[in-house]
Every structure is written in structure tokens, then in C-alpha cells.
Amino acid sequence: MRNSLYLFIFLLTMGVQCAAQEIASNVARIKQTNDFEISGDGKNKAWESANWVTMLPSEKGEPRGTRFKALYSATGMYFLFYNRDELLSATMTADFEKLWLEDVNELFIWTDTTETIYFEYQISPLNYELAILVPNFDGKFLGWRPWQYEGERKTKHLTVIEGGEKKPGSKVYGWYAEFFIPYALLTPLRNVPPTKGSVWRANMYRIDYDNKKTSRWQWRKTETNFHQYTRFGALIFD
């Protein structure tokens, strides 16, 4: 009942007069899988059951594309991004740096809409990560790093570069990011783990800085900044 209420409220806020096709674009249905080893480029057969979801560019005329897939298991969620690219504009070589200032994929997961606290994850093409919880109250937000970030609470993440080397300034055709978010890391949040029929709000982003030009992609377009959680889409767990 609670999950159904979440979905009803979400569709209502997105506009009940939307056509069925438009409503579907606000929703991604997530299939269940057994746990598997990630490779960085989605080579595991488990990904064959998941559909690619195209992300929209914020800048007009942007020819490069970005898309993602998602799956869930009994222990956590798997995500796979593919980014068409020409240049790796990434120099940071440590986790929990300000990765959003360089090429990056970003994920926001809002598991319980009764509280404005959500999980944010970033990964660079060089395979460095940022994982934080974000309390957001009336547009005022600041991320908190996880404590005891080890063992079953630790993510798994890999990247694969297509057409070039994994190094700053490398000319490439594109890059993959594959990562696993364990539910144990999300335990401060409610409505975790998901079960069949659960609804989480979420959004996916990409920022690229080729040739001093900033380009952005979003699954669900925001109007102000990436932290506009009222514009997030819905993940429905099948």
C-alpha cells in the first residue's frame, strides 16, 4: 500500500494529464538478478535482461550520447553507464575528491519521499568514486561521507575506456562505468532494501568538460540543479 501511494504521488506531481508514453519516460522498471561479478563494461550476461535508458543532453546540438542500465539483487543494486566521448577530461587520482569538476557519471537515489535525504554516487572515467548521503532542506544541502566504509558496506566499481588509454587527456571513443551499491551502505535510509513493487525516486547524470566546454546529460531534466529531487524519476522494482 505504501509503495502504491509513493507511485501515485509521483505520477500526480509529474502531471496526470501526461500521455502514457510520456509517463513511461519518467519510470524505469528494474529487474531482479542474482549477484554477479562486475567487469567495468557490462559483459556479464546478467545485463542482457536490462534495457538501456537514454539520457537527454542539456545543451542543444550535443551529438554525443549517454545511457544507463540498472538491476537489483538480494544484496544491492547494479548500475551500468555508457558515455560517448572524445577526450578524458579527468585528472583526480583519489576517492572522495570533487569529482563533479571533471568528467563524471552521477547517481542520486531517494528511497523514502517522506524525508528529503538521499544517496549520491559519483564515478570518474579513471575509476575514482564519491559516495555520500545528502540531507536537503529547502534547497540547503551538504553531503556526509559514510562511516566504517568497508566490508559489506563498500561499493564495487570499475571503468573501461573505449578507443584509448585510461589516463588524463586520452583521446577516446567513449567509456563505461559499472558499479554495485550494497543495501548495507544505504541502511540509514528507510524503504531499504526494495522488494517487488517498491518505488524509489532517482536521477542519473553525466558531466563532460571536453575542450573547456561543459556538457550535461540527465535522465529526468531538472530546472535548477542536479539536487532538485522533486524532478527525479521513479525506479519500480519488478
Task: Indicate if the pLDDT at residue 117 is higher than 70.
Answer: yes
What is the structure's pLDDT at 15? 41
Q: Model's pTM, two decimal places?
A: 0.89
Q: Which domains does the chain have, with CATH numbers?
A: 2-237 (2.60.40.1190)
Looking at the DSSP bridge assignments, the partners of residue 131 are 121
The predicted model gives 119-136 an average pLDDT of 96
Which pLDDT does position 205 carry in this prediction?
Answer: 95
pLDDT band at 128, cuts 50/70/90?
very high
Segment among 50-64, 149-163, 187-201 with least mean pLDDT: 50-64
